[in-house]
Each structure stands twice: as C-alpha cells, then as structure tokens.
C-alpha cells in the first residue's frame, strides 16, 4: 500500500514509517510526502492563497526530511490547494531529482479543464526529468474527455516523459463535502444537480443531497465524505483498458464509511474486466502488481521470479468478486484464499490470521 496521495499525510511521514516498523501492519506500507500536509504545517492554511518565500523554504525543508526518511516522492492535491503556483510546484518538485523520485498529483481541475491541468503537472516532470503519475484519471477526465486526454499523455510518453496514470473501476468519485471540488460551478461542470452527491456518513448517510442538505453540511460538517455519481462509464473503461494506466484504489474512509473502492477495487477490476475477457489475465495482473512496483523502483515486488520477495496472493479466479457496496463499503471480497507476506501467512480463506507482518517500504 502506498499512502500519502493527493498531498495528504495524517502524520509526519518519517514518524509514520517508524511506527509501522515498530508495530507492524497487515500489509507493507510506503509513503509519498504530502505537499498539502507540509504546506499547512508551515503555517499556510489558506488553501486559496499563495505561499510566502519563507513558508516555501520551510515546506521544502519538511519535504526533504520526508524524502530522506524514505518517501517515494512528493504527492500534490493541486485541486484542493488552488493557491499553489508554478514557482511552488516546480521548486518543491525539484527536490525529487535526488534518487529519481516521482511526483504525483490530483491535478488542478477536471472535466473540460482537464487538459491544461494535466499539462501543468507534465511540464513540471519534463522540466526536472522526473517520473510522473497522474492520479485517478477516471475521476478527472471521465466526462467525455478521456480519448483525447490519453492521446495527449501518450504523445508525451512517446517523447520520453516517464508518465503513467492510475484509475479505479467505479463510475463515481469520492471526496469530502467541504473540499474545493464542490466550490461554486461544480453542478455546471458535471452537468448534474445536487442529487448526484451521495452522503457516506453522518445523519444523512445513504441519502442523496438536496441544496438544503448540501448548504448545511458545507458549513457545519465539511469533513463529511461524499460520493459523486457523475463519471461516464465508457470513459472510465477506456482508461482502465489502456496500457499506460494502472489500477489504484484512491481509498478514503472514516471508521469504515466511504467509497467501496477502498475495499473492492482490485477484486472488482478482476471480476469486471479480467473474468469477462475485456483484458487478458497476464495484462490484468500486471496492472495490479508489476506496473506499480516498477514505477516505484521496488524491484523485488510485484512479480514471482526467483529472488523476489515472497509477497503472494493466491486466489480462485472463478470466485474472485468484490462485495463492497456504497451501502457497505468495507465488505471484504470473495475468492482470496491466501495472502503471504515475506513467506508467512497473513490471510487464510479471506480471514486475516496475522495482522503484523507488514513493514515500512522505503525508497
């Protein structure tokens, strides 16, 4: 598992990795250094505001400490911190030139504005010679722009930029109701109304929004997790079947509530795309394992060759199916017989039997 995406850390990454090694977890965990977390830690709490020179130097210091502690790169939530400008993006991204680390981002905007938003990230990668990850492309360009967007990214890849994308196999995104995603104009951008928003927690859990509920929660409960049922299925499918796109969950939950992607992404991809013959077994497994390991430089992960780490999932293809739903988002899948971590059994017939085998992964 790679955490710290979209610029978000929940704790100083160096300390988090130390705790993982001390206490163990059910899976191995690596981290990205979250730009937003460091920006707020430096005192810049107005997400719409630019950053001062002193604050920028402080942010760079925090990010460097996290990279030195083993983070795989820097992640940005540019959508969520619209105050970030070119100077801030490029000066922080340049830190990743050491040891060739990656930059990833939830880009600045989506739908019809996706092209210039992705170019902003790609140009930072090109300027500093860095590998780039465009996060959850399905929820960013899944409104009729996917074919053109993938072609634009392919052209940059053909010209030498090491860029890839990730996507989850659902036609709805998830974010908190107080985030900039829902700033004024979002209904027009998604060509929808308030009923496209499903509430995942709180007194309105399971309900669709009205303007009255939306206005109430934006003010009084802005951290409420929501699901936005707005993406075009054909665009999401196009992304998932593209050779430059890997599978990733983009999981976000509060006390087991949220989007089913956190528990269902990989079994769902297998069930909906591999089992149905839309993609081959070999290519489908690669999209869930070796593509990610290669991108992160984890040469001993994501494959079963001699000398690789003995981290193995043993499953029944005929039974592999996600059980998580928007009503029960934390439900585990069927079909997973064993998970081995370091050659020891962590899961047997869908039940976790040892939850402390996971260790911190560091660059």
How far apart are the C-alpha atoms of 225 and 259, rounded to whole Å? 8
CA Rg value for the chain: 20
DSSP label at 272? I
Q: 335 near 319, Cβ under 8 Å? A: yes
Looking at the DSSP bridge assignments, the partners of residue 360 are: 29
Neighbours of 43 (CB within 10 A): 13
CB half-sphere exposure, 263, CA atoms < 13 A: 23
What's the CA gap between 101 and 116, in Å, rounded?
24
DSSP category for residue 316: -
Contact (CB, 8 A) for 137 and 111:
no
Q: How far apart are CA 242 and CA 144, in angstroms?
A: 16
Look up residue 314 and give its DSSP letter: E
pLDDT string in tens for the chain (363-residue length): 999 999 999 999 999 999 999 999 999 999 999 999 999 999 999 999 999 999 999 999 999 999 999 999 999 999 999 999 999 999 999 999 999 999 999 999 999 999 999 999 999 999 999 999 999 999 999 999 999 999 999 999 999 999 999 999 999 999 999 999 999 999 999 999 999 999 999 999 999 999 999 999 999 999 999 999 999 999 999 999 999 999 999 988 998 899 999 999 999 999 999 999 999 999 999 999 999 999 999 999 999 999 999 999 999 999 999 999 999 999 999 999 999 999 999 999 999 999 999 999 999
| Token duo for residue 73 | 């790169």
Query: Tokens 């163990």 identify what position?
Result: 24
How far is the C-alpha of 61 from the C-alpha of 104, rounded, in Å? 19
Q: CA 63, 64, 70: angle at the middle one, nearest 5?
A: 95
Bridge partners of 348, per DSSP, are 338, 351
Between the alpha carbon of residue 227 and those of residues 66, 67, 172, 198, the distances in Å are 31, 32, 6, 5
Nearest to 36 by CA among 71, 100, 84: 84
Planar angle of CA 228, 233, 238, nearest 5 degrees:
125
Look up residue 271 and give its DSSP letter: I
Of 284, 235, 261, 294, which is closest to residue 111 (Cα–Cα)?
235
Going along the chain from its start, the domains and CATH numbers come out as 2-171+233-352 (3.20.20.140), 172-230 (no CATH)
Instruction: Give yes or no for a contact between 110 and 182, defined as CB atoms under 8 angstroms apart.
Output: no
Nearest by Cα to 260 from 167, 333, 355, 190 = 333
């Amino acid at each position: 598992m790679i955490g710290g995406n979209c610029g978000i850390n929940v704790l100083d990454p160096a300390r988090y990795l130390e705790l993982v090694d001390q206490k163990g977890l059910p899976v191995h965990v690596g981290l990205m250094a979250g730009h937003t977390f460091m920006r707020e830690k430096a005192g810049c709490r107005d997400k719409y505001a630019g950053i001062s020179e002193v604050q920028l130097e402080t942010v760079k210091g925090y990010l460097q400490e996290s990279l030195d502690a083993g983070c795989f790169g820097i992640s940005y939530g540019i959508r969520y911190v619209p105050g970030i400008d070119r100077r801030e993006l490029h000066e922080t991204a340049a830190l990743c030139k050491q040891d060739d680390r990656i930059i990833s981002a939830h880009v600045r905007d989506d739908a019809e504005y996706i092209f210039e938003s992705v170019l902003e990230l790609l140009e930072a990668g090109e300027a500093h010679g860095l590998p780039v990850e465009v996060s959850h492309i399905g929820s960013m360009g899944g409104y009729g722009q996917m074919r053109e967007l993938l072609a634009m990214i392919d052209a940059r890849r053909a010209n030498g930029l090491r860029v890839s994308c990730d996507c989850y196999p659902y036609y709805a995104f998830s974010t908190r109701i107080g985030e900039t995603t829902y700033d004024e104009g979002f209904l027009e951008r998604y060509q929808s109304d308030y009923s496209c928003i499903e509430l995942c927690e709180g007194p309105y859990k399971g309900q669709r929004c009205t303007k009255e509920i939306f206005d109430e929660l934006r003010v009084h409960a802005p951290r409420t997790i929501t699901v936005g049922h707005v993406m075009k299925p054909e665009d999401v499918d196009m992304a998932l079947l593209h050779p430059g796109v890997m599978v990733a969950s983009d999981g976000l939950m509060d006390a087991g509530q949220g989007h089913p992607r956190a528990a269902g992404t990989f079994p769902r991809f297998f069930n909906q795309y591999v089992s149905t013959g839309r993609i081959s077994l070999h290519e489908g497994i690669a999209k869930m394992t070796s593509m990610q390991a290669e991108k992160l430089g984890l040469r001993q992960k994501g494959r079963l060759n001699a000398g690789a780490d003995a981290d193995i999932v043993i499953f029944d293809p005929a039974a592999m199916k996600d059980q998580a739903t928007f009503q029960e988002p934390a439900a585990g899948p069927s079909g997973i017989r064993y998970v081995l971590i370091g050659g020891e059994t962590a899961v047997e017939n869908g039940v976790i039997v040892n939850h402390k085998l996971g260790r911190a992964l560091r660059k």
